């Protein structure tokens, strides 16, 4: 994107905020284009307070943002970690004061890789322990209250069935390699992997959504678009993809110590969920219908295009 386009986008998004009575300024504002759902501008108001301004990329994002707003209101009352406090929430714009802390990593769009703001080979003990504490607290929140507040609740048997249905849908619409399909079916059919309970999950837990302080302790979590009451293993899949099985075992150990609920085949279940991650990419591709996303999904599914 050219600087001129960036400038125009910043001006447009700042203008949306100002029309809602938020006096933020274009000078020194920064544009972040790394998110698939939102274009984001960081700008300061008259007092120098930094704000996060999120403009939805597509109409389907607006609907899910409504659910995210409900989730955040519940979390602010039930979670000790920092979460965004939306002051503006319209179909055109979401705005909230920037939280303290630094994302554990950013994303380099050109290189398609993380740019780390912490030691990550391996992560520090402070990082792992505080992340485990927050996940145990999040997963331990009362599901009935969460459901009553309007958060989507998916029972364990329904989550499993939905996963199986997604597999069939993706196979029919995009295809999937025989090896991957057979692995998925073995996992779906084996009761030993699957937990008999659901938990309130973040749903998209990767480094850009994890805020840390200068000691690499986790202070807050961003981007709750995918939050729901569902299978708790989902919050460990991206962690294992990035850091590997040994580091995930360390996180699970601290999670267990912090009161997180684990089961015998939890880590194996995380590994199988990781092998089914192409489903997530495929579902996004089918939703957006963008060629880049479709190609990414086909590659992940092991489908060779002629």
Instruction: Dig out the tokens for 247 from the structure.
Output: 């580091």
**DSSP string covering 52-92, please?**
EEEEESSHHHHHHHHHHHHHHHHHHHH-SSB----SEE-SS
Helices (H), the chain: 3-19, 59-78, 125-139, 143-149, 156-173, 178-189, 234-243, 245-257, 266-275, 278-288, 291-300
Q: Which of 288, 257, 286, 304 is nearest to 132 (CA)?
A: 257
Between vectors from CA 196 to CA 281 and to CA 149, what angle results, nearest 5°?
70
Catalytic residue flag (residue 204) = yes
Q: Which residues contact 277 (CB under 8 A, 6 or more apart)?
A: 237, 241, 300
Is residue 165 within 8 Å of residue 172, measured between CB atoms?
no
Q: What is the CA radius of gyration of the chain?
A: 20
Q: Which of 37, 82, 133, 204 is catalytic?
A: 204
* 263 burial type by CB count under 10 A (0-12 exposed, 13-18 middle, 19+ buried): middle
Catalytic residues: 204
């Amino acid at each position: 994107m050219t600087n001129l386009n960036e400038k125009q986008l910043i001006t447009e998004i700042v203008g949306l905020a100002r029309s809602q009575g938020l006096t933020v300024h274009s000078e020194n504002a920064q544009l972040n284009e790394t998110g698939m759902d939102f274009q984001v501008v960081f700008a300061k108001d008259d007092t120098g307070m930094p704000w996060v301004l999120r403009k939805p990329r597509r109409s389907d994002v607006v609907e899910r943002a409504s659910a995210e707003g409900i989730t955040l209101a519940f979390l602010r009352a039930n979670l000790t970690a920092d979460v965004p406090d939306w002051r503006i929430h319209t179909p055109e714009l979401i705005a909230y004061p920037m939280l303290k802390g630094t994302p554990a990593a950013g994303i380099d769009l050109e290189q398609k890789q993380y740019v780390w703001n912490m030691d990550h080979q391996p992560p520090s003990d402070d990082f792992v322990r505080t992340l485990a504490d927050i996940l145990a607290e999040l997963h331990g929140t009362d599901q009935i209250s969460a459901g009553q507040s309007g958060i989507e609740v998916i029972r364990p048997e329904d989550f499993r069935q939905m996963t199986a249905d997604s597999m069939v849908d993706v196979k029919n619409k995009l295809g999937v390699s025989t090896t991957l399909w057979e692995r998925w079916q073995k996992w779906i059919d084996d009761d030993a992997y699957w937990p008999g309970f659901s938990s309130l999950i973040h749903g998209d837990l990767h480094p850009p959504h994890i805020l840390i302080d200068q000691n690499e302790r986790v202070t807050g979590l961003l981007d709750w678009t995918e939050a729901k009451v569902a299978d708790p293993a989902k919050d460990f899949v991206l962690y294992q993809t990035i850091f590997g099985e040994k580091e995930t075992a360390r996180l699970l150990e601290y999670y267990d110590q912090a009161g997180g609920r684990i089961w015998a085949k939890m880590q194996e279940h995380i590994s199988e969920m990781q092998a089914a991650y192409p489903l997530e990419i495929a579902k996004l591709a089918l939703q957006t219908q963008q060629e880049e996303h479709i190609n990414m999904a086909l590659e992940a599914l092991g489908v060779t295009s002629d």
